Chain A
Amino acid sequence: GENVEQHPSTLSVQEGDSAVIKCTYSDSASNYFPWYKQELGKRPQLIIDIRSNVGEKKDQRIAVTLNKTAKHFSLHITETQPEDSAVYFCAASKDSSYKLIFGSGTRLLVRP
């Protein structure tokens, strides 16, 4: 079955710097790759996702890149702000209507 590895487990950056979180997946049939942000005591919140027919997607300060050949995808956050501090999870799936397999999570701390 699908396996998703996520790195790093913790990431500390200075406010205004960029943050990059990387994930690799094992199942070449995976086509849907969402990213979730989870603040303490709250539900995972979908922040961006990408499908295998594109290599990059941007939404304001957030971007996701996908390399299907290498089976890895990354989350890029530019101009980080303290409110970006949270745990970020990547996931992989065959489709958005299918089960999600999650990475282990990255705790991002943005220092003011």
Chain B
Amino acid sequence: SAVISQKPSRDICQRGTSLTIQCQVDSQVTMMFWYRQQPGQSLTLIATANQGSEATYESGFVIDKFPISRPNLTFSTLTVSNLSPEDSSIYLCSVERRDRGYNEQYFGPGTRLTVT
């Protein structure tokens, strides 16, 4: 099945700093998605990352706060800037893969961010 890794797996950051999260996939994928899961909540899409173009952000998420890079078809980064305690969440990347003969979306293991 798809191998999707994220770094770091968790971090504790101070208010006002930034954290960059990496997502690495073991094969080339067209679309990569970044989601946020606040404690005890569902998943909310932050943005869609296409290689070679600007990320597409969902309502309520802006590039200045969540800059995304997508330098190639196997890698993406999400930066959470100017951290506040409200940013404490799990951040997950997902990709579309064809592991079982048809296209499906799989998630990385997530990055647990705690802001103090």
Contacts and interface: CB of A to CB of B under 8 A. Distances in A.
Interface in A10-60: 34, 36, 42-46, 49
Interface residues of A, number: 22
Contacts of A93: 105
A96 B44 contact: no
Contacts of B92: 43-44
A89 B33 contact: no
Interface residues of B, number: 23
A101 B45 contact: yes
Given A97-B96, A100-B33, A34 B43 contact: no
Contacts of B103: 95-97
A100 B45 contact: yes
Contacts, number: 51
B110 A43 contact: yes
A86 B31 CA distance: 28
Nearest to B106: A46
Contact of B107 (A43, A49, A97, A103): A43
Contacts of A34: 104-105
- Contact residues of A: prevailing secondary structure: loop
B53 interface: no
Given A43-B92, A99-B48, A89 B105 contact: no
29 contacts: A1-B59, A34-B104, A34-B105, A36-B107, A42-B109, A43-B92, A43-B110, A44-B43, A45-B107, A46-B104, A46-B105, A46-B107, A49-B104, A89-B43, A95-B103, A96-B96, A96-B105, A97-B30, A97-B96, A99-B33, A99-B45, A99-B58, A100-B45, A100-B105, A101-B45, A102-B43, A104-B42, A105-B41, A105-B42
Which 5 pairs across A and B sit closest by C-beta, in order of nearness?
Answer: A96-B103, A43-B107, A102-B42, A102-B43, A97-B96
